[in-house]
């Protein structure tokens, strides 16, 4: 116990020092010119480390920064991006993936349950549900380098893509209609400075058999391919709710991204991510049926947010290979474009907001030109519809990998009105946000909505009528309780003091067991923790019932400093290996991950709460 | 031409496809070409002699470190054994001292001998300001200034990479030696396969 309190005291001092530094920087409100005068910023835009000052120059061109700040660690001289004019280009909407005609139309041999190693497949394990849930649609995707413009004032970038776009194509699927995606690794010999040409594509939030999940160690090299079988089945189909699964476990906004162990941040930053949407008889994609949510794709729009850095001299994308704390960009992208605009009609829209990382937390507001807020409705957290819509007047916080589906109503605005998606959460470094909400005028305006004069009808449900979506599935007594502490030792990210290795099975969950997991955050750092395969419910956050927005089903849980959250799980239907990891992808790549296996035996809690420390 | 030199020739052919421009940027950003001295007393240039065209493994240590250094060194000694003849041939190991004032080449030589370090793994010292620049540019520092100044809490990660391919990753020094070796072997482009299990 003595050691703990000693360590706590030391860390508390560190925290106080760090926040004092931050406060000083914020109070000083240095401009770029100030920093240059002080000799802290060179004309090339590099900050010079000095006396523990941790800040980066204010953003240029629109958005404004003022009270916001950027992390800088002195390693390698993280540059400040060149200026770009905001709202020059329309926000792209990723294309919808088109299936091939049938299995015969796939390049290469017919898909099969066993890995087809002889024909160049990188898979090593047999599909669990290939015969019981046979694929009905077949897709082919090629991971290739492509020339992508992220802003007209920056050069074309050589990015890594799924079929040539960033974000990748959107898969649109129905529950009960399994897909097979044949995934080819056709990446080039050169990585252009970062990234690795071996990949593992994870379907984030999928109730997916382990061999198709995109486990970090299931990567495959160039010229290889990998058949990923996505059953698109509701949790409980083979256990608690046969034969179709529990409708209240429906997921809607999923995404896919590279997950290659140690290189996830580099490969995702380079472009390897996209959306995967699931519809069913209630969330139909048509506003005249089911829950009557705005019709896809016209009024139901996926938006992936990323922050990135560009070299001030070449204008090329920079990934800081020397940063292990967390990378913050000073350019904000929506669907691959820096600060785009988006034309909207005078009606309700469903936006599927996804924080694509690598390390920044957002708190998004919709603000008008006069910097007042326009309230909106949160209908889904991590892509899972909440029991009822929640009106927010205080924005919505989204950590890396979290999704928030929102309904924004533009019907009250005259044609020509402009509104903004405005991030007002201050974050100075990779450790996490400061929790300071800057004024609307000081936020990062990442996208401009332009209300058009088009004639419009709106058949979607009005969230103000408090429609009901899915109920939160009932909990049951747990078979097992496990505890996890997320911390840092000697710059090594650890979970319960241990680091990740592919072959290190930390514990085994018995299939169809219910479990309680207690997750505890360490000092000084915040972590969005993602647990693969099954969704959880947040039972308690720091002893309290979670907020309405967190009172649903999730796959990412935000751990603030010293936070303690209690999660309820049921691990059903499939077996195999799955990870739990921090989704600040920099932390993830520096070993803040563990592997657990699901089997029919399980074992009791090796991370027993009572004897953990 | 024997098999090994044929493989080496093939490797050169492959390297000609690599983007020299981006390598130059990466080099400028992360690999300052400072002069260092090895534990055998040899003067070397960091980029030219130690990094360029190689698969490398880099960590930090100092000879009288009582924290995690002995564990990491012990793990790396085991990793060196597992990698056998490849160390010094196409994979090179480097340990940079955090105490260049104290850790003379002789002191580092003593440390290397004491830990049973074999050839192909060099312990490096140099001017304190150069070592500090390397520490920062290689990613062995943190933005948390207090933590960063605490030498006993220095970064326990081990950097690994293939300079020609511009692949750069890190593995924890406290990981099992077999896992450290697995990570290093991924840097061999002829060996891109996932681990078993």
What whole-number distance in Å separates Cα of residue A270 and Cα of residue B63?
Answer: 39
- Specify which residues A353 forms β-bridges with: A303, A404
Rounded to 5 degrees, what are φ and ψ at A463? -60, -25
* Closest listed residue to residue A387, CA positions, set A537, A278, A549: A549
Dihedral (Cα; B44, B48, B49, B51), 10-degree rounding = 120
* Closest listed residue to residue B94, CA positions, set B140, B148, B151, B144: B140
Q: A517: which 2 tokens? A: 């997991």
- How high is the pLDDT of residue A455? 78
Between B190 and A1, residue with greater pLDDT = B190
- How high is the pLDDT of residue A65? 31
* Closest listed residue to residue A406, CA positions, set A443, A449, A371, A436: A449
Which region, left, alpha or beta, applies to residue A407 given φ > 0 means left and ψ of -120 to 50 means alpha? beta
- Tell me which residues of chain A, numbers 578 to 597, contact chain B at a CB-CB cutoff of 8 Å: 589-591
Q: Is the ipTM of this complex over 0.85?
A: yes
pTM for the whole structure: 0.89
- Flag whether pLDDT at A598 surpasses 70: yes
- Tell me which residues of chain A, numbers 450 to 479, contact chain B at a CB-CB cutoff of 8 Å: none
Q: Is B139 on the interface with A (CB under 8 A)?
A: yes
Which chain B residues contact residue A501 at CB under 8 A? 175-176, 179, 182
- Flag whether pLDDT at A467 surpasses 80: yes
Quote the crossing angle between the two packed helices B177-185 and B69-83, to the nearest 10°.
60
The shortest CB-CB distance from B29 to any of A77, A198, A500 is to: A77
Query: Mean per-residue pLDDT for A69-77?
Result: 40
User: Do A18 and B192 lie within an 8 Å CB cutoff?
Assistant: no
Strands (E), A265-325: 273-279, 300-310, 317-318
Q: Is B193 on the interface with A (CB under 8 A)?
A: yes
CA distances from A561 to A326, A424, A519, A521, B2 (A): 15, 20, 12, 6, 59
Interface test with B, best of A193, A430, A584 (most B CBs within 10 A): A193
CA A227 to chain CA mean position, Å: 24
The shortest CB-CB distance from A14 to any of B141, B146, B173 is to: B146
- Cβ atoms of residues A71 and A325 within 8 Å: yes
Q: Is A190 on the interface with B (CB under 8 A)?
A: yes
**b or e along A313-343 (b: 16 or more beta carbons within 10 Å of the residue's beta carbon)?**
eebbbbbbbbbbbbbbbbbbbbbbbbbbbbe
- Cβ atoms of residues A249 and A258 within 8 Å: no
Strands (E), A231-369: 253-258, 273-279, 300-310, 317-318, 331-334, 337-338, 341-344, 348-355, 362-368
Q: Is A297 on the interface with B (CB under 8 A)?
A: no
Contacts of A223 (CB under 8 A, 6+ apart): A120, A185, A186
**Which one-letter DSSP state was computed for residue A130?**
T
Q: pLDDT tens for residues A92-124?
A: 999 999 999 999 999 999 999 999 999 999 999
Cα-Cα-Cα-Cα dihedral sign, residues A87, A91, A92, A94: positive
Cα-Cα-Cα-Cα dihedral sign, residues A213, A218, A223, A224: negative
Q: pLDDT tens for residues A521-571?
A: 988 899 999 999 999 999 999 999 999 999 999 999 999 999 999 999 999
Which chain A residues contact residue B165 at CB under 8 A? 191
Q: A67: which 2 tokens? A: 């009270």
Q: A487: which 2 tokens? A: 């911390």
Q: pLDDT tens for residues A375-413?
A: 999 999 999 999 999 999 999 999 999 999 999 999 999
Q: Is A325 on the interface with B (CB under 8 A)?
A: yes
- How high is the pLDDT of residue A137? 98
Interface test with B, best of A219, A491, A497 (most B CBs within 10 A): A491
User: Do B143 and A492 lie within an 8 Å CB cutoff?
Assistant: no
User: Do A503 and B196 lie within an 8 Å CB cutoff?
Assistant: yes
* Closest listed residue to residue A532, CA positions, set A83, A200, A190: A200
* Closest listed residue to residue A343, CA positions, set A445, A452, A416, A420: A452
CA A143 to chain CA mean position, Å: 20
Which chain B residues contact residue A190 at CB under 8 A? 17-19, 22, 166
**pLDDT class for A67, splitting at 50, 70, 90?**
very low
pLDDT tens string, chain B, 197 residues long: the values are: 344 444 444 444 444 445 688 899 899 999 999 999 999 999 999 999 999 999 999 999 999 988 888 899 999 999 999 999 999 999 999 999 999 999 999 999 999 999 999 999 999 999 999 999 999 999 998 888 888 888 888 889 999 999 999 999 999 999 999 999 999 999 998 766 666 65
Q: Is A489 on the interface with B (CB under 8 A)?
A: yes
Cα-Cα-Cα-Cα dihedral sign, residues B82, B86, B87, B92: negative
Give the gap in angstroms from C-alpha B176 to the nearest C-alpha of chain A: 8
- Cβ atoms of residues A565 and A518 within 8 Å: yes
Q: Is B22 on the interface with A (CB under 8 A)?
A: yes
User: Do A503 and B183 lie within an 8 Å CB cutoff?
Assistant: no
CB hemisphere CA count around A309 (13 angstroms): 26
Which chain B residues contact residue A197 at CB under 8 A? 192
Which chain B residues contact residue A49 at CB under 8 A? 136
Which chain A residues contact residue B136 at CB under 8 A? 49, 73-76, 322
Q: pLDDT tens for residues A499-511?
A: 999 999 999 999 9
- Flag whether pLDDT at A21 surpasses 80: no
What whole-number distance in Å separates Cα of residue A589 and Cα of residue B170?
Answer: 8
In DSSP notation, A383-447 reads TEEEEEEEEESS-EEE-TT-EEEEEEE-TTSPTT-EEEEEE-EEEEETTEEEEEE--GGGSEEEE
Rounded to 5 degrees, what are φ and ψ at B84? 55, -130
Q: Is A19 on the interface with B (CB under 8 A)?
A: no
The answer to which of A242-251, A423-432, B9-18 has the lowest mean pLDDT is B9-18
Query: Mean per-residue pLDDT for A3-9?
Result: 44
- How high is the pLDDT of residue A20? 44
Between A328 and A36, residue with greater pLDDT = A328
Mean pLDDT of chain A: 88
Between A347 and A13, residue with greater pLDDT = A347
- Flag whether pLDDT at A351 surpasses 70: yes
- How high is the pLDDT of residue B151? 82
Q: Is B104 on the interface with A (CB under 8 A)?
A: no
**Which one-letter DSSP state was computed for residue A497?**
T
CA distances from B167 to A76, A240, A584, B56, B159 (A): 16, 45, 20, 10, 11
Tokens 């564990």 belong to: B71
Q: pLDDT tens for residues A258-302?
A: 999 999 999 999 999 999 999 999 999 999 999 999 999 999 999
SS3 string, chain B, reads CCHHHHHHHHHHHHHCCCCHHHHHHHHHHHCCCCEEEECCCCEEEHHHHHHCCCEEEEEEECCCCCCCHHHHHHHHHHHHHHHHHHECCCEEEEEEECCCCCCCHHHHHHHHHHCCCCCCEEEEEECHHHHHHHHHHHCCCCCCHHHHHCHHHCCCEEEEEECCCCEEEEEECCCCHHHHHHHHHCCCHHHCCCCCC
Give the gap in angstroms from C-alpha A32 to the nearest C-alpha of chain B: 20
């Amino acid at each position: 116990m003595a050691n703990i309190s000693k360590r706590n005291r030391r860390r508390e001092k560190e925290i106080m020092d760090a926040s004092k530094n931050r406060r000083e920087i914020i109070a000083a409100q240095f401009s770029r010119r100030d920093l240059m005068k002080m000799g802290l910023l060179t004309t090339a835009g590099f900050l010079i480390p000095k006396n523990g000052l941790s800040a980066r120059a204010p953003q240029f061109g629109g958005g404004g920064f003022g009270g916001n700040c950027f992390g800088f660690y002195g390693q390698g001289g993280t540059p400040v991006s060149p200026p770009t004019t905001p709202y020059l280009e329309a926000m792209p909407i990723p294309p919808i993936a088109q299936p091939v005609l049938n299995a015969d139309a796939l390049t290469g041999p017919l898909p099969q349950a066993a890995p087809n190693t002889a024909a160049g497949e990188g898979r090593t394990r047999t599909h669990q549900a290939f015969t019981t849930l046979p694929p009905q649609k077949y897709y082919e995707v090629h991971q290739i380098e492509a020339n992508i413009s992220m802003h007209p004032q920056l050069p074309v970038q050589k990015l890594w893509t799924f079929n040539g776009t960033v974000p990748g194509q959107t898969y649109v699927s129905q529950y009960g209609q399994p897909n097979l995606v044949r995934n080819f690794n056709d990446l080039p010999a050169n990585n252009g400075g970062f990234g690795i040409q071996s990949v593992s594509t994870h379907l984030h939030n999928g109730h997916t058999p382990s061999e198709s999940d995109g486990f970090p160690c299931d990567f495959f090299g160039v010229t290889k391919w990998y058949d990923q079988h996505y059953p698109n089945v509701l949790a409980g189909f083979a256990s608690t709710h046969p034969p179709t699964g529990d409708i209240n476990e429906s997921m809607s906004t999923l995404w896919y991204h590279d997950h290659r162990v140690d290189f996830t941040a580099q490969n995702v930053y380079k472009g390897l991510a996209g959306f995967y949407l699931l519809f069913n008889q209630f969330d139909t994609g048509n506003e005249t049926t089911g829950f009557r949510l705005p019709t896809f794709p016209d009024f139901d729009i996926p938006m992936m947010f990323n922050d990135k850095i560009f070299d001030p001299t070449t204008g090329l994308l920079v990934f800081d290979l020397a940063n292990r704390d967390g990378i913050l960009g000073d350019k904000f992208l929506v669907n691959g474009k820096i600060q785009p605009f988006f034309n909207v009609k005078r009606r309700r829209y469903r936006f599927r907001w996804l924080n694509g990382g690598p390390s920044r937390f957002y708190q998004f507001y919709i603000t008008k030109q006069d910097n007042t807020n326009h309230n909106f409705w949160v209908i889904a957290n991590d892509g899972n519809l909440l029991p009822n819509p929640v009106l927010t007047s205080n924005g919505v916080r989204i950590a890396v990998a979290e999704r928030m589906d929102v309904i924004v109503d533009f019907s009250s605005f005259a044609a020509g009105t402009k509104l903004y998606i405005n991030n007002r959460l201050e974050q100075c470094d990779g450790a996490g946000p400061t929790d300071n909400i800057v004024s609307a005028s000081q936020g990062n305006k990442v996208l401009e909505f332009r209300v058009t004069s088009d004639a419009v009808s709106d058949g979607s449900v009005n969230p103000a009528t408090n429609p009901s979506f899915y109920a939160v599935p009932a909990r049951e007594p747990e078979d097992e309780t496990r505890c996890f502490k997320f911390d840092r030792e000697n710059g090594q990210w650890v979970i319960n003091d241990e680091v990740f290795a592919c072959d290190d099975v930390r514990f085994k969950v018995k299939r169809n067991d219910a479990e309680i997991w207690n997750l505890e955050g360490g000092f000084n750092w915040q972590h969005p923790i993602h647990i693969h395969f099954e969704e959880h419910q947040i039972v308690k956050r720091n002893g309290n019932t979670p907020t309405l927005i967190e009172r649903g089903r999730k796959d990412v849980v935000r751990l603030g400093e010293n936070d303690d959250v209690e999660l309820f799980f049921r691990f059903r239907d499939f077996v195999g290996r799955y990870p739990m990891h921090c989704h600040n992808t920099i932390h993830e790549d520096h070993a803040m991950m563990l592997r657990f296996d699901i089997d029919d035996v399980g074992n009791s809690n090796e991370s027993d709460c009572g004897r953990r420390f | 031409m024997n098999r090994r030199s044929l493989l080496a020739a093939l490797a050169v052919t492959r390297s000609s496809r690599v983007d020299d421009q981006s390598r130059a940027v990466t080099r400028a950003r992360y690999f300052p070409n400072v002069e260092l001295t090895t534990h055998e007393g040899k003067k070397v240039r960091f980029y030219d002699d130690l990094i360029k065209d190689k698969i490398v493994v880099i960590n930090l240590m100092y000879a009288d470190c009582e924290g995690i250094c002995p564990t990491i060194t012990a793990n790396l000694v085991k990793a060196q054994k597992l990698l056998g003849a490849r160390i010094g041939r196409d994979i090179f190991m480097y340990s940079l001292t955090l105490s260049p004032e104290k850790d003379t080449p002789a002191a580092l030589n003593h440390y290397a001998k004491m830990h049973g370090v074999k050839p192909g793994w060099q312990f490096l010292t140099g001017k304190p300001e150069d070592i500090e620049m390397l520490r920062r540019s290689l990613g062995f520092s943190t933005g948390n200034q207090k933590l960063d100044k605490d030498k006993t809490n220095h970064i326990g990660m081990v950097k690994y990479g293939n300079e020609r391919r511009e692949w750069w990753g890190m593995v924890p020094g406290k990981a099992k030696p077999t896992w450290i070796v697995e990570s290093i072997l991924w840097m061999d482009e002829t060996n891109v396969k996932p681990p078993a299990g």
